[in-house]
Structure 1
Amino acid sequence: MKFVLFLAALVVIFLLAFLVSRDKKGIKFKPIAIMLGLQLLLAYILLNTGVGLIIIRGVSGLFEHLLNYAAEGINFVFGGMAMKGAAPFFLNVLMPIVFISVLIGIAQYIRVLPIIIRFLGFILSKVNGLGKLESYNAVASAVFGQSEVFISVKKQLPYLPEHRLYTLCTSAMSTVSASILGAYMTMVEPKYVITALVLNLFGGFIIANIINPYEVTEQEDIIEIHETEKQSFFEMLGEYILDGFKVAIIVGAMLIGFVALISMINHLFAAIFGISFQMALGYVFAPLAFIVGVPSSEVVKAGTIMATKLLSNEFVAMMDLAKITASLSSRTVGIISVFLVSFANFSSIGIITGAVKGLNEKKGNLVAKFGLKLLYGATLVSLLAAAITGLML
């Protein structure tokens, strides 16, 4: 039965991606099959052994240390306000972008970042059928985060056409940053966090290959920009510090607008129809919850959690899941936990648009143009990860 449901889920997910494909005849099936096979193999290993847990915890621990260093600067400027909890999201989530931006700038300046881009891009592009920059960006998104990653490729942004920018943004929205893995692991079982991280990396490539297929020539695959005038070290520091601050401010502004708008829609919907927009979407998501392996008696509850993530963010949904975990089977908890570990939600459209706009206004406007399609693709990535988890549990 699990295998039948998994096949049904694949058909539905791939069909939903196919319906919005920009070039249905250009879809490359070989890399999709290879990456699906890799997903199945890695999911089996991660969900049935302890392999990878120590490595992921080590990476998460490293970023926790970096965030602690960032907190030193934040506390100095804001007088310990963050420690008192007066503005935790702005100070503890957005402001560290400035420090991460500095580290990215240093890595760029000493020529380490271009080497990493070339290495990761070369290896993954042999598997996914996409460009080297797209391949690098997917891994970088899982390290830097969905807003910071664009700082690491800011030199390439002006040269990217819409279809390549879409793939980069899909990777950013489908993955999660290593800096918050520790926080996720306190809310859901660590093995599900790790599984989602790995599955979403390849899932982003799979869905992008269906929705957004294209060929990248060697001339187009710009992964390093040679600047005519060399900056001094402190000029570079100033540039990346200001870039990080600008991204943080714009992301914050976008979040205020998006979250407020969604809250208004939720309340208006409840006033008119008697149920919240999230609950209504729970019924919409119920069939999807069923095909990814959630037992029929729990699909509405699971669908509501999935809808909560879509409308708000993964943290809110994880907290809601924790409240009803006792009433759900371990199978449902595992499937939904993997689904929740990504940035695929409405507010992320604002975050990614703001991050790109802060670095290149023209490209930021382009991202806003395909924002809903971006969320659509990233949600399919989460569904694919959940379906694979349902097969393995």
Structure 2
Amino acid sequence: MKYIIAIAGLLVVFVLAFAASSDRSRIRYRPLVVMAVLQLVFAFILLNTRIGSLLIGGFASVFQALLAYAGEGINFVFGGLANEGADPPFFLSVLMPIVFISALIGILQYIKVLPFIIRYLGLALSKVNGLGKLESYNGVASAILGQSEVFISVKKQIGLMPRHRLYTLCASAMSTVSMSIVGAYMQMIKPEYVVAALVLNLFGGFMIASIINPYTVTTEEDMLEVQEEEKQSFFEMLGEYIMDGFKVAITVAAMLIGFVALIALINGIFKGIFGLSFQDLLGYVFAPFAFIMGVPWSEAVPAGSIMATKMVSNEFVAMLNLSGMTGLSARTVGIVSVFLVSFANFSSIGIIAGAVKGLHSKQGNEVARFGLKLLYGATLVSVLSATMAGLFL
């Protein structure tokens, strides 16, 4: 039965993407089939094989070691804030390690390891996805650098981008997550779901963008020129990345305070008027999507509530709600967890538009105009990834 529901779910995703397509006659189906097969293969390997378990275990152990090292710095500065024997505050245990991970990313950037990986993995993907080299590079870079920082590396091209290529670049940024916060996710949901989502979202982002926004890149247009960062000394670079990581942690903390408080206020108002919380009502709206992803109908409403929370606030708020929710089956938790690992929410529209606007004012305004379409496509990517994962959970 789950296979029938999964097939129906995949059909629904592709029909919804097809309905929003800007030019259905230009959709190329062969790359879509290839990427769908690759998604199935990777989902099977990562979630249903011993090799996948070993890979994920190794990935998770690396992040656990890094988080332990981050804890040394955190304890030195904030030691004693938490009561002895009590769980450390969320800000210290989950958000502050972002500072250390950001510093490591800066070092890998400085010694040219990450640019090499991003560039050549992107070139290899361009042979599979039927998109341009720049789009493929951007998809990989977004998953490592983050939805704001990635545009700096292609800032020379931003002003020259036609609308359709700009959409694909922004869609990749919203469909993925930043490597600097992967460790934070792994403290709230299981590492295997985080890793599976990272891989599935990469291919899913290309697939949905190829349907919603199909086009062909000519040889003349298909030039990959990545902006080199201004040469800095090692310690200048390190200080900059450490401060960037701290800004991300503070920003996420501020957004959590605001969103959690606002959701609590809205829930209180709705309970007083309707007897149901706002999240419960949204759960009924999203329940059909949870069901086609493979969630049992008896659990579709609470699962839909978490999905809706992620869209109207962010993935951190939704993951906190998921970790505190009881009564959900392991299969439902796995499917919803994969859905949550992306930047597909309303606040990301402003973040991406602001990042582009900071580099090119006119193009930033263009991004703001198709912001809702970006969110629509990125949400379909999350549904697609969760449905694929559900086949093997």
**How high is the TM-score relative to the length of structure 1?**
0.80
**1:338-360 superposed Cα distances (whole Å, 9 cap, x missing partner):** 11111111122222222222333
Equivalent in the alignment of 2:343: 343
**1:237-291 superposed Cα distances (whole Å, 9 cap, x missing partner):** 69x959x96xx69x959969x9599758777766665544332221111011111
User: What amino acid is the match of 1:144?
Assistant: L
1: distance between equivalents of 2:330 and 2:227?
52
**1:321-348 superposed Cα distances (whole Å, 9 cap, x missing partner):** 11224x0111111111111111111122
2: distance between equivalents of 1:231 and 1:293?
48
2: distance between equivalents of 1:93 and 1:358?
27
Equivalent in the alignment of 1:4: 4
2: distance between equivalents of 1:51 and 1:127?
24
Asked if structure 1 preserves the Cα contact closer than 8 Å seen for 2:98 and 2:181, the reply is no
**1:297-324 superposed Cα distances (whole Å, 9 cap, x missing partner):** 1110111111111111112111111122
1:2-81 correspondence to structure 2 within 5 Å: 2-52=2-52
1: distance between equivalents of 2:323 and 2:90?
25
User: What amino acid is the match of 1:123?
Assistant: A
In structure 2, the gaps of 5 or more residues are 82-88
Equivalent in the alignment of 1:389: 389
Asked if structure 2 preserves the Cα contact closer than 8 Å seen for 1:157 and 1:360, the reply is yes
1:221 positional shift: 2.1
Equivalent in the alignment of 2:225: 224
1:267-282 correspondence to structure 2 within 5 Å: 273-282=274-283
Equivalent in the alignment of 1:313: 314
For this pair of structures, how many residues does the alignment match? 384
Asked if structure 2 preserves the Cα contact closer than 8 Å seen for 1:64 and 1:179, the reply is no
Asked if structure 2 preserves the Cα contact closer than 8 Å seen for 1:156 and 1:222, the reply is no
In structure 1, the gaps of 5 or more residues are none
**1:6-61 superposed Cα distances (whole Å, 9 cap, x missing partner):** 11101111111111111111111110100000001110111112435665676677
2: distance between equivalents of 1:255 and 1:364?
22
Asked if structure 1 preserves the Cα contact closer than 8 Å seen for 2:98 and 2:180, the reply is no
2: distance between equivalents of 1:71 and 1:48?
32
Percent of matched pairs sharing the same residue: 57
Asked if structure 2 preserves the Cα contact closer than 8 Å seen for 1:6 and 1:388, the reply is yes
SS in 1 for 2:156: coil
1:1-393 correspondence to structure 2 within 5 Å: 1-52=1-52, 92=96, 106=110, 116=117, 118-224=119-225, 233=232, 259=259, 273-325=274-326, 327-393=327-393
Asked if structure 2 preserves the Cα contact closer than 8 Å seen for 1:57 and 1:182, the reply is no
Asked if structure 1 preserves the Cα contact closer than 8 Å seen for 2:290 and 2:304, the reply is yes
2: distance between equivalents of 1:338 and 1:357?
31
The alpha-carbon distance between structure 1 residues 104 and 169, as it changes in their structure 2 partners (threshold 3 A), is: farther
The alpha-carbon distance between structure 1 residues 292 and 80, as it changes in their structure 2 partners (threshold 3 A), is: same
2: distance between equivalents of 1:14 and 1:284?
20
Asked if structure 2 preserves the Cα contact closer than 8 Å seen for 1:81 and 1:87, the reply is no
RMSD: 4.0
Asked if structure 2 preserves the Cα contact closer than 8 Å seen for 1:262 and 1:311, the reply is no
The alpha-carbon distance between structure 1 residues 150 and 265, as it changes in their structure 2 partners (threshold 3 A), is: farther
Which deviates the most, 195-204 or 258-267?
A: 258-267
2: distance between equivalents of 1:367 and 1:261?
29
User: What amino acid is the match of 1:34?
Assistant: V
Asked if structure 2 preserves the Cα contact closer than 8 Å seen for 1:338 and 1:382, the reply is yes
The alpha-carbon distance between structure 1 residues 187 and 279, as it changes in their structure 2 partners (threshold 3 A), is: same
The alpha-carbon distance between structure 1 residues 364 and 274, as it changes in their structure 2 partners (threshold 3 A), is: farther
1: distance between equivalents of 2:182 and 2:202?
15
**How high is the TM-score relative to the length of structure 2?**
0.80
The alpha-carbon distance between structure 1 residues 82 and 145, as it changes in their structure 2 partners (threshold 3 A), is: farther
The alpha-carbon distance between structure 1 residues 5 and 30, as it changes in their structure 2 partners (threshold 3 A), is: same
1:362 positional shift: 2.4
Asked if structure 1 preserves the Cα contact closer than 8 Å seen for 2:155 and 2:227, the reply is no
2: distance between equivalents of 1:86 and 1:48?
32
2: distance between equivalents of 1:82 and 1:368?
43
User: What amino acid is the match of 1:164?
Assistant: R
Asked if structure 2 preserves the Cα contact closer than 8 Å seen for 1:6 and 1:291, the reply is yes
Asked if structure 2 preserves the Cα contact closer than 8 Å seen for 1:255 and 1:350, the reply is no
